[in-house]
Amino acid sequence: MKMKKGAIVTVLSAFMAGAILTGCQAADIGAFAQMLHNPAETQAEAEPVVCQGSPEELRSELDQAGFYVQDGTLYEFDTLKLASEGKLLTCFGNNAGSSYLILNLPPAPDQDAAAGNPERGWEGERESAFDDPEIENAPANPYFSPAGMSFKLRQDEAVIVVAPLPDPCKYWSYIAYDMFTAQVPGKDYSNTKGFFAIGDDTVGKYHTIFGSIGSPVNMLNAKHDGDSPFGTKAVIVLCGNSAVRDTVSRCLTEAGYPEGMVNVMEIPTGVYRMGLEKGRDTFSLFGRISQPEDRDAYEAYMEGLSENATVFRVTPQTEVPAAPFDVKPLQTRGSGIHEAAKLGTCSEDLETIREAIISKYADEYDYEELATDVAFPDGMTAYLNDANAQGDVHDAAYLISGDFELQNDEDFVVVYGVNHAVTGKARYFNAVLHERPMVNGVCSIYDSMLSGSAAEYLADPSEKADDYYVYKMARNEMDEHTALIPYATGNEQGRYYGVDNNSPVFVLFRIYLDETGVGASYYELVNDHVIVFHKK
């Protein structure tokens, strides 16, 4: 690693001092379950943390501690909009109806900025604020639009985010990702599911991993100021060096950001390839927000997000020796109780529903029944298998159907199954119709829409109606339990906000936060079902 001329030699001792942040500690299952049912009440039991910090004070403390400090931004990442404008090469399987947040960072000191593609409207990366002309620069990040969303990190760098938290909503979280990793020389990726290539011979040839690193920070486990995980602030620190973490911790405390609002996301360098050299991994930090209670407040939050958030990329002026983190254990999925145990006669009920659905439409329609299965593995498993995790998060279980096509405007899709929110296997769940190859989510059904939807398909709906659901995705409204599928052609919002007939599509089910506070175990779920009806 290159060393800056005239660097502060004494900075190393500062990195070895300061209080250690433990980050988001896993709570026991009972505590998670209590927070799941009443998070505000649980948070109120502790003395609220008071934040008196400012970005200016934090920058000053970091400067004094021997860091180069560069500004980044936090903003909404609308994949459908960017793809429709030709600025994004994939929609990354967006969760239709939910929102994403993303960081934008400049390159590290003495790292080249990646060039964009003006013909496609792709801006290049902004240059680093610290570039010594006497030192040969490290190669640029492999370019991916939007510039700066995917970045390499030196093993002793950190990213600090002071994030304003959204107002009450069903779910929010932040999670770090290994975004792109170098292709293995000589390996044939032609049959690798979800393979997506970027880069070139100069910066290295990469492919998508998009695999989560560790546990997310969410509204159930976040350390934040105030007495609620909504409408307050949290600090997130992303780094791979415990000595750097300690110094950043001290700077935050002295700048008025107490330990009680700081969440550390640790990158275990024994697994991931940190560094600025050609072929080193790139990283990203994503936020998710789903189902805000007050839409006006949500819109105001999004409009002010970039201005109200603080994002710093901090780099030691003198390289700090490696002080790696171990791989932290994830909270185990599952409670040990299968969903079927809470429903009694679920196999009989589901068969009754299936037969009733087919009987209702079989005279006029041919149909195909599609099984669902685990969509993709957890992030670290995907990384070690050199595979695409497609933006997983440990808060969710994912089930996917096979591909199919809508052949005309009268074709439609029926999704049905157990209401996972009623059984306690989900704080929320949904079914989203996605198109290939851009994997753009265009039509979504949330559990909040399902009340009474299965009643007409059950022999005795009086006691069981809300234990199950039946919902349609169609071009035209068939009944009150129909979600409309928008067209791509002529869509005023943009091409990838819809899907046309005769395009390959599939249904992805997301099942968020069971009674233990993480994604449900796949071995405790009753899989959802898909039937596609084609007009005869």
Ranges assigned E (strand) in 365-504 = 365-370, 372-374, 396-401, 412-418, 428-435, 440-446, 468-474, 482-484
Q: How far is CA 258 from CA 51, 221, 305, 322, in A?
A: 7, 17, 22, 26
Domain region containing 498? 339-535
Residues with Cβ < 8 Å from 206, sequence gap 6 or more?
142, 180, 181, 182, 183, 197, 198, 199, 282
User: Could you tell me the CATH number of the domain that includes residue 393?
Assistant: 2.60.120
Count of domains for the chain: 2
- Domain for residue 329, yes or no? no
Total residue count of the chain as it appears in this document? 536
Please indicate, yes or no, if residue 3 is contained in any of the structural domains: no
Residues 454 and 381 in one domain: yes
Helix (H, G, I), strand (E, B), or coil: what is residue 483? Answer: strand
Each of the 536 residues of the chain gets a pLDDT tens digit; together they read: 444 433 433 333 333 333 333 333 333 334 444 444 444 444 445 689 999 999 999 999 999 999 999 999 999 999 999 999 999 989 999 999 999 999 999 999 999 999 998 888 889 999 999 999 999 999 999 999 999 999 999 999 999 999 999 999 999 999 999 999 999 999 999 988 889 899 999 999 999 999 999 999 999 999 999 999 999 999 999 999 999 999 999 999 999 999 999 999 999 999 999 999 999 999 999 999 999 999 999 999 999 999 999 999 999 999 999 999 999 999 999 999 999 999 989 999 999 999 999 999 999 999 999 999 999 999 999 999 999 999 999 999 999 999 999 999 999 999 999 999 999 999 999 999 999 999 999 999 999 999 999 999 998 877 788 999 999 999 999 999 999 999 999 999 999 999 999 999 999 999 999 999 999 999 999 999 999 999 99
Written as six digits, the tokens of 91 are 């929609």
Q: Is 330 inside any structural domain? A: no
Are both 108 and 240 inside the same structural domain?
yes
User: Are 225 and 279 part of one and the same domain?
Assistant: yes
Residue 198 and residue 347 in one domain = no
Task: Please indicate, yes or no, whether residues 385 and 275 belong to a single structural domain of this protein.
Answer: no
Instruction: State whether residue 223 is helix, strand or coil.
Output: coil
Residue 468 lies in a domain: yes
d(CA 261, CA 256): 11
Cβ atoms of 276 and 108 within 8 Å: the answer is yes
Task: Say whether both 345 and 310 belong to one domain.
Answer: no
- pLDDT tens per residue across span 174-211: 999 999 999 999 999 998 888 989 999 999 999 999 99
324, part of any domain: no
What is the token pair recorded at 40? 């505000």
User: H helices of 369-509, where?
Assistant: 379-384, 420-423, 461-464
Q: Does the residue 304 lie in any domain?
A: yes
Contact in structure between 312 and 54 (CB atoms under 8 Å): no
Say whether both 152 and 267 belong to one domain.
yes
Considering the domain architecture, whether residues 390 and 309 belong to the same structural domain is answered as no
Residue 323 located in a structural domain: no
Q: In the block, which residue shows the tokens 């002793």?
A: 156
- 197 and 281 in one domain? yes
